[in-house]
Structures are given as C-alpha cells and as structure tokens.
Amino acid sequence: DSGVTQTPKHLITATGQRVTLRCSPRSGDLSVYWYQQSLDQGLQFLIHYYNGEERAKGNILERFSAQQFPDLHSELNLSSLELGDSALYFCASSERGYGYTFGSGTRLTVV
C-alpha cells in the first residue's frame, strides 16, 4: 500500500456520461497530481493541485476538471465521455516535487 488511495479501481460507463475519480493523498502530502495513461503509453500530466489551489495544467481537455478539497483529497471529473477517454488515470501525491507516490490507478472504460 503506497498510502495514496484511488477509487474506484475500475469504472465502465457509456459515451456521453460523466464520472468522478477520487484520490486521497498520502498523509502529510499537500500536492496532488493527476496523470492519464492510454494503451501502455507514457504518463500524460493532466493537472496539479497544492493545498487546494490549482498550480499547473497539462494536456487536460476542457471536458475534464479537478479540484482539491480542504481535507486534501482530490476529485477528477470527466464529462461528455468519448471512447478515446478510456485509459488508466493515476494520481500521485508529494510533499514537494522530490518524488511522487502514486496510487494504483482507476481504469476507465468507455463503451
């Protein structure tokens, strides 16, 4: 157990739907990062939150949004889902940038 908890582990949904992925960071970590991995490709950075504030955006679609709550957990919202959004979504947490701890991911399948 890495200390970073992601739920759900698996999600199957239809095109056009909306889903929410949840991440609880490791205790004490203020930063949460979201990544997308499609078809065993590289890790595509989506967004970074630090202590509730958005710090950086990567290749995140406008249909996707995220937030970090006062208890530091984070949610990634994916809407108007398309087949191409099927992927593994990872969150990672860190105290600073010196090393991330990743969760085990949420596998999203859009049918």
Residues that bind other proteins (CB under 8 A): 2, 4, 33, 40-43, 45, 48, 55-56, 88, 90, 92, 96-105, 107
Q: Which CB sits closer to other proteins, 64 or 100?
A: 100
The distance of closest approach from Cβ of residue 107 to other proteins in the complex, given in angstroms and rounded to an integer, is: 7
Beta bridge partners of 56: 48
The minimum distance between CB 6 and other proteins, in angstroms, equals 8
Q: How far is CA 13 from CA 36, 78, 89, 106, 107, in A?
A: 17, 11, 15, 13, 11
Distance (Å, whole) CA 104 – CA 5: 7
What is the nearest approach in angstroms of other proteins to the Cβ of residue 44? 9
